Structure 1
């Protein structure tokens, strides 16, 4: 039997990248899935990929909605409950490093950029989680939040608002994990490193520049020690692990780093000691 047979999963931001890969994986593994995003064309691409994997059409609930709004959150939950009857898994994946409207970086970024970034990466997660908790309590469900290694103790000076939002999301994960386990709900998070998704384009990079960025970073061991760029499927598999109670039942409030070693790198690791010793 597929590991998510009989389960209902909501995956936000599933019109692209990690969310799309997770949606396809969960559906292929037997879950009924709500896919959601703001772009109807890209969301339809996700739906078609799910159906191409042999998933019955009735197992997919496609919802065009803005998760940063109360109306969008309510629509996602209502359509899921109307179609499937319950909610077992919530994957809070929607997020982005939103470019400043005037192209500023660092401390020059506007307060409006801060508000938009925190709204998408943090507030929407808090709001949707709060609304989903009564339903997840009934099913003793799972929540997986998607954070980033940008939340760690290394600086990200160009996009401070994004790293602030993800750091706060990590603490929210820990707090809610302890608060909600009394109701049988497990909360954990994933912190991806560099992953070849539409993230670069969302930050304003042209498609070709985004591809070059990812391919170049993968060759730099001081950036990605594994030597290969992470793929959405890599993160999707980690999400599925944390959402699978049989596989991860004793893991609560954990931040699982999936980054090819990027967050472990120190300056001395970047040196070729064989050459230095010659």
Structure 2
């Protein structure tokens, strides 16, 4: 029997990056999956990849959604339950990165940039979790949030508004875990370091500049001791571990760091990433 046979997972942000890799992995291991994001073309690409791995089409649901819109959150959950009958796993992987329109960085960015990060990277996750609780109570289900090492105790001056909601998300994970375990729901999170996703494109960075930065970071042990930037599937493996009640049953409210050792030294912040990318 497949690892997640009979389980249903809703994976947000599954049109690309970590969310996409997670949906592919869970489906390959027997899970029925709802995939969602704002880009229908990329969602269809994710679906086709899932089908290539042998998952029946009846076990994949595609629901385009902007999770900043309450009604679209509701439709996403309603569609999942209508299609599959229950929900076992919620993976909150959707997120976004927003640049200041005037090119400002750090504390000088416009407050609108702060608001966008909070809305997308914290508020939407809190609301999706709240709305999923009644369904997860019935199945004694799992919530896995995707945070980042930038949320930890060291400073993150270049990407301060991106790091702040992630730090709050870690506190939400801990606190929600303590409350929801009473209902049999486990809440945990994963904190990736540098991952080769579509992050650069969302910042308007060319492939050439993005690859230049990846090569720079990979070659410096003070940035990534492992010596390579992570691929999305490496993070997805940890998410699947946290979503597996058999493998990780006694882990409650933790954020598992998956960063190739970066947070042990944090030399990332010794370099100007915006300069490296030519921004």
User: What is the TM-score of this pair, normalised by structure 1?
Assistant: 0.94
Contact 2:14 2:94 in 1 (8 A): yes
Task: For 1:217 and 1:235, locate their aligned partners in 2 and report how far apart those are by CA, in whole Å.
Answer: 18
- Tell me the residue number matched to 2:177: 177
Residue-by-residue CA offset, 1:242-263 (whole Å, 9 max, x unaligned): 0000000000001100000000
- Tell me the residue number matched to 1:75: 75
Contact 1:38 1:64 in 2 (8 A): yes
Contact 2:189 2:253 in 1 (8 A): yes
Secondary structure of 2:196 counterpart? coil
The question of 1:134 aligning with 2:145 is answered no
- Tell me the residue number matched to 2:231: 231
- Tell me the residue number matched to 1:275: none
Higher mean alpha-carbon deviation, 53-62 vs 202-211, is at: 202-211
Contact 2:65 2:72 in 1 (8 A): yes
Contact 1:151 1:164 in 2 (8 A): yes
Instruction: Give unpaired runs (5+ residues) of structure 1.
Output: 271-278
Task: For 2:95 and 2:124, locate their aligned partners in 1 and report how far apart those are by CA, in whole Å.
Answer: 9
The question of 1:243 aligning with 2:240 is answered no
Task: For 1:103 and 1:4, locate their aligned partners in 2 and report how far apart those are by CA, in whole Å.
Answer: 45
Task: For 1:138 and 1:266, locate their aligned partners in 2 and report how far apart those are by CA, in whole Å.
Answer: 42
Contact 1:37 1:64 in 2 (8 A): yes
- Tell me the residue number matched to 1:57: 57
Deviation at 1:266, TM superposition (A): 6.1
Deviation at 1:265, TM superposition (A): 1.1
Deviation at 1:181, TM superposition (A): 0.2
Task: For 1:39 and 1:97, locate their aligned partners in 2 and report how far apart those are by CA, in whole Å.
Answer: 16
Contact 1:98 1:203 in 2 (8 A): yes
Deviation at 1:203, TM superposition (A): 2.0
Secondary structure of 1:99 counterpart? coil
Q: How does 1:263-278 map to 2 (within 5 A)?
A: 263-265=263-265
Instruction: Give unpaired runs (5+ residues) of structure 2.
Output: 271-279
Task: For 2:200 and 2:56, locate their aligned partners in 1 and report how far apart those are by CA, in whole Å.
Answer: 33
Task: For 2:13 and 2:102, locate their aligned partners in 1 and report how far apart those are by CA, in whole Å.
Answer: 25
Q: How does 1:113-262 map to 2 (within 5 A)?
A: 113-262=113-262
- Tell me the residue number matched to 1:66: 66
Deviation at 1:101, TM superposition (A): 2.3
Deviation at 1:175, TM superposition (A): 0.4
Contact 2:15 2:46 in 1 (8 A): yes
**How many residues of Structure 1 are paired with residues of Structure 2 in the alignment?**
268
Task: For 1:242 and 1:14, locate their aligned partners in 2 and report how far apart those are by CA, in whole Å.
Answer: 17
Contact 1:97 1:159 in 2 (8 A): no
Task: For 1:110 and 1:161, locate their aligned partners in 2 and report how far apart those are by CA, in whole Å.
Answer: 10
RMSD of the TM alignment (CA)?
1.2
Residue-by-residue CA offset, 1:159-192 (whole Å, 9 max, x unaligned): 1111111000000000000010000000000000
Task: For 1:26 and 1:165, locate their aligned partners in 2 and report how far apart those are by CA, in whole Å.
Answer: 27
